[in-house]
Amino acid sequence: MKKLLLLSCIPLLMAGCSGNGSKTSADSTSLATSSKTDSSRQSSLAIALPELITLNGVPLAKADGYVSDFISSASVYKSPTSIWFSKAYINKIKLLLEKEGADGIRLYYAKYPNGHNIIVVSTRGTGVPNTHQDYFEHSDPFLQTAEAKGIVDYTGKNGATLYDPALKCPDADNCNTTYNHYLTCSEAADRVRNFSNDRFVTTSEWFQKGVLDYLTEELDNTPTADGIRIYYARNTSATKKTHGFVIITTRPSSTNSNIHEDYYTCSSHIIRVDNGEQCPLSCNGVTWPKQQ
């Protein structure tokens, strides 16, 4: 009888378990779904969280080392140095800075493990006159791509014509422009060829966001334009011989489409850029040199 009684209870227990189990199963499914949703939400948030990275794709910790190494050994450096960025890069950075409310970019000299290069940093106004604060919080995955890093060149060739002593600047060298960062072809060539004549004085140079507006306008209005080149340069006309950068637009070479060659024309668009705010003359908001 005990066996029969015990067996007869099993269906009841199972039924009871089934009733409670349905509720438990539903609750478990609900909890699992909720947990999965929370996990997905957390994953999405993690992806959206800003990374501490420069505009040319260098994590802040590495950038700190590269710029600090340059500053600690800012001796005469004679290898021609220029960095090329694509038109897509310039367009992307312009849109990114507009979205983030930036007021400009700052270019730092940097010493990478394989040679000299630059660090490109975004800045914001602080409400204090002439203060442009660096910031590194970006969530756009484009900055993690190879295109964001640019292409550095130490040969003084490959389309970097400002190094060419035989370069013939256009006859209309003094283009009709009111843009305050404009350089003539001759001025740009002088600054690029003389950048290594003494110890580096400058550590960085700031340009307002309008520089990118002019560059994208020029690139968009020149069908063959494909990017920009940033040169190491030295201002030979200033009372204090400061170093800086020269920026010029490029297009594919007529003999080799893989070579990005500088071009010089007079148009309503900017073609040559320099004359930014240089540190140590203007250092408000810089990350390097570190403030004591």
The residues pairing with 122 across neighbouring beta strands, listed in sequence order, are: 105, 135
Cβ atoms of residues 268 and 116 within 8 Å: no
pLDDT, averaged across the chain: 80
Report the pLDDT value the prediction gives residue 153, as an integer from 0 to 100. Answer: 97
Highest mean pLDDT among 98-102, 191-195, 267-271: 98-102
10-47 per-position pLDDT tens digit = 333 333 444 444 444 444 333 343 444 444 444 444 44
- Listed in sequence order, the residues at least 6 apart from 1 whose beta carbon sits closer than 8 Å to its beta carbon are none
Copy the structure tokens of residue 57: 């794709």
Closest CA to 246 of 119, 83, 105, 112: 83
Q: List the single range of 2-6, 125-129, 259-263 with lowest mean pLDDT.
A: 2-6
Given a cut of 80, whether residue 213 has pLDDT beyond it is yes
Give φ, ψ of 146 to 5 degrees.
Answer: -65, -30
Report the pLDDT value the prediction gives residue 27, as an integer from 0 to 100. Answer: 42
* 241 vs 162: which has the higher pLDDT: 162
54-85 per-position pLDDT tens digit = 999 999 999 999 999 999 887 767 789 999 99
Q: List the single range of 114-128, 167-181, 271-285 with lowest mean pLDDT.
A: 167-181
pLDDT band at 5 (very low <50, low <70, confident <90, very high): very low
Report the pLDDT value the prediction gives residue 42, as an integer from 0 to 100. Answer: 47
